[in-house]
Structure 1
């Protein structure tokens, strides 16, 4: 599907009408004497120092904090000394940004300006004022409170316009872009005390619907007509909304669970008679875990097992099985914090053999049992993060149901700031796909009934390849592979080798599979051999989580001709003759994706690889994982919008909108 300029008409509110609604009670006396509060549009970022390309490449950004489009015709942005003085025009979309570049659209490389202006900003003693179409002053910045002329880091707003013209509203940008540090037409790197503006553009509840959600920014200027991605989405809220609609059953496969709204909503549904079944990962206790995340995971599982009445064995209980046995978290302070009884004798004390040794405690979660009744070690991971709702909705992706995966910290969660790991999720309304996932779930659960069967349960390498791998979802081919045993990595490798014709872009947390590396190398430079090959014209771009960027086993070392600090005969590097444009991610926390986009924006067979599977031996041959290949130009385009945003932040070059259209 070729790219078309967006022509979809949206309702555009004139600022006169909007200000009547928002500001009618705010003005007394001389309205232009001070900035009004709760302005829909405010000054959001200022590159008063220019860019690394030139000190003349100044730019400014406005932000619309409402959900409605706002016409800027008649608005003015000007410096108090008279230069620059900009008569604004055009429209700023709901929840979006308006980029003003000085003199030329090349001031910010790769990002299209919404308006070009003339006139230089001073590097000191400067002040900006923003006036609406009625001539009312709606925002003031009376000093350069932040920004760095040496590093060319912009000044970013971190609080609402109505909190006053003070230095604490502004911070120096920390995210890299082509011109230094800043976030042109993206969410600010320093966060906002007002909460994240969520861009929920397209969600369907129809049979065959495929909804994709990104918890970080995207670049919607690269969207097909009417195909803007859902970005800066609170994944917890979105999943809670879907769980709330359940009427009969919810099956949960969770690596970790510590989000209160999800836990409470599952408890609510169980109390309403909805069957809630859970398979969960059991973990080795980490003595360095100062936050006791595993303990919190077990506390939340106990809440589900007890139900709203806190009594084990009643009708409102969820049923939970682990890949290894789990004991009650006994910390009295934590139990009180999570609303659990101080005593837990209803889980009897047991001494059980787990792996090679005996452990004693109040057994909370039963698990897959060996033939002799003992338990497997928790060393292998049940790494899935999927839900099956009412036998028709499948929710899956890279996102763990955790605070760090969503918000980052308690403080950020309380302010709805999405400073957690970068993640992507997909929900698909398909009875056929849900049936495939249910087969996988029940193989681990050991039962098709409400209660699990530990003696029939099979996790990890004990599982078999017992599901179909293709399903038609309302005309879209969707492939599904579970690990271990289904050949997930082999399928990605074959897709690169046999199906990718033009380009492959990827974001990956952990990537060590040498066969996949070699196929990408052959596409890139026509040779499998170390330090041989000539560029073929195949387009490849990639991002790696920075924590693994310099590991000897990481594909990033092969692709960039670097020498890692360690080597191994088990995984020799095959260095590329021509370094590829791949980068370490520069996210607020982890770059947690496991995603490849093949042939987006082409007439080939655009597809997206997404799921929980890292491209490693653990991800393919040890852990319980799931992976989708979605053959859809629209879905590929949505992932491309998010990829370009991550790539730009990391320092990569994205095309201009005009080049992309061509």
Structure 2
């Protein structure tokens, strides 16, 4: 993602096709142009930021100026079409303190759902979210769920059985790769996504973010991805068209991509390469040399780079912590005794990248993932504040620079 609009290319069509087929193709092309969803699977390269009429985007307006949100055991803010939340992890090592935390805004939102609730969950054991989802189901909301089988069914502390017993339909990925998404779609108009797993660890121990997008366009894009998994039972590498989308909302560029079928790495490389002054990142896992290479190049060109790695795994041969640190960049390991679980880039304090996508080969090539890029300085400022909180308690790593 850059500030420049890029052109997408359409593959040519042979003229020897029937009238009905031609009509269907034209209709699909029109839908693709209006929605940003590549129904035909003909678009190549990275999705572009295609400006759209405002009436096609934000149905649920928010405040025009930034507002701070009161969040127990966390931080929050909202403006225009977005709300962002960070948990104040770690809250405590005592599970008795794990209540009324950063999950409560989502619990409240679920309590307002009137018609539909779609959930993609890598892990699930939050009592508050479990109760909220069952309550929605019991009042007549159509609830659907897709989940990673290894990290929901097989977890000893899962509460997903309560959802099953309530009669909520759940589709499991049944693959060795991960269904690593953590998103919800509320009433087909709002998406909640980010790095936060719907668990007590995710909410109260690990550093995480959660963003609500009050955009029907985003909801439609995520719903298409959700239904590939729920209805078509397609996980990991899919045969369906790529559901990525790029558009503007309230003059703000937004880009949504899904892995492994999307072009996430090229988009991230292009976005990082466009950095003019600064790159900040927080990474649970960072092993992709494609990203570290462009970061090193931008640093050589004078861009200031700061990053915090999750400690566990940062000293492996695959981690990019040592190469970046040995290049003289301000790279640290986190000070949370549990996990730094963010997957965030902040470019020039203007563009923010977030979602479930770890900066790893597994995320890019095998897992079901999502990632969002938004060019909004106010949203970026909220992530910068979280970065500074994390960086303040981070530690200098011990590395062997050869």
Place the TM-score, normalised by the shorter chain, in its bin: 0.7 to 0.9
Equivalent in the alignment of 2:256: 480
Q: 1:515 aligns with which of 278, 290, 305?
A: 290
Partner deviation per Cα, 1:400-453 (whole Å, 9 max, x = no partner): 00111122xxxxxxxxxxxx100011101011110000000000112xxxxxxx
Contact 2:75 2:86 in 1 (8 A): no
Equivalent in the alignment of 2:85: 213
Q: Give the superposition deviation at 1:236.
A: 1.6
Q: Give the TM-score normalised by structure 2.
A: 0.75
More contact order relative to length (CA 8 Å, sep ≥ 6): 2
Separation of aligned partners in 2, 1:594 and 1:394: 18
Equivalent in the alignment of 2:344: 595
Equivalent in the alignment of 1:39: none
Equivalent in the alignment of 1:323: 173
Partner deviation per Cα, 1:175-218 (whole Å, 9 max, x = no partner): xxxxxxxxxxxxxxxxxxxxx954656346xxx5201101128x
Q: 2:360 aligns with which of 616, 619, 622?
A: 616
Equivalent in the alignment of 2:303: 538
- 1:96-495 alignment to 2 at 5 Å? 198=73, 202-203=77-78, 209-216=81-88, 234-283=101-150, 294-297=155-158, 300-307=159-166, 317-324=167-174, 378-407=175-204, 420-446=205-231, 456-495=232-271
Equivalent in the alignment of 2:388: 644
Separation of aligned partners in 2, 1:395 and 1:484: 20
Q: Give the superposition deviation at 1:587.
A: 1.2
Equivalent in the alignment of 2:33: none
Higher helix content, 1 or 2? 2
1:235 counterpart SS class: coil
- 1:4-23 alignment to 2 at 5 Å? none
Contact 2:72 2:101 in 1 (8 A): no
Separation of aligned partners in 2, 1:197 and 1:283: 31
2:103 counterpart SS class: helix
* TM superposition outliers: structure 1 runs of 4+ over 6 Å: none
Separation of aligned partners in 1, 2:361 and 2:261: 12
Q: Give the superposition deviation at 1:306.
A: 2.2
Distance 1:464 1:513, change over 3 A: farther
Partner deviation per Cα, 1:375-423 (whole Å, 9 max, x = no partner): xxx311000000000001100000000111122xxxxxxxxxxxx1000
Contact 1:254 1:279 in 2 (8 A): yes
Q: Give the TM-score normalised by structure 1.
A: 0.46
Q: Give the superposition deviation at 1:645.
A: 1.3
Equivalent in the alignment of 1:363: none
Q: Give the superposition deviation at 1:589.
A: 1.1
Distance 1:463 1:279, change over 3 A: farther
Report the more deviating stretch, 456-465 or 612-621. Answer: 456-465
Equivalent in the alignment of 1:229: none
Separation of aligned partners in 1, 2:342 and 2:69: 25
Q: Give the superposition deviation at 1:248.
A: 0.3
**Rg comparison, structure with higher value:** 1
Q: 1:631 aligns with which of 375, 382, 398?
A: 375
Contact 2:69 2:76 in 1 (8 A): no
Q: Give the superposition deviation at 1:305.
A: 2.2
Question: Are 1:502 and 2:277 matched, yes or no?
Answer: yes
Contact 2:74 2:86 in 1 (8 A): no
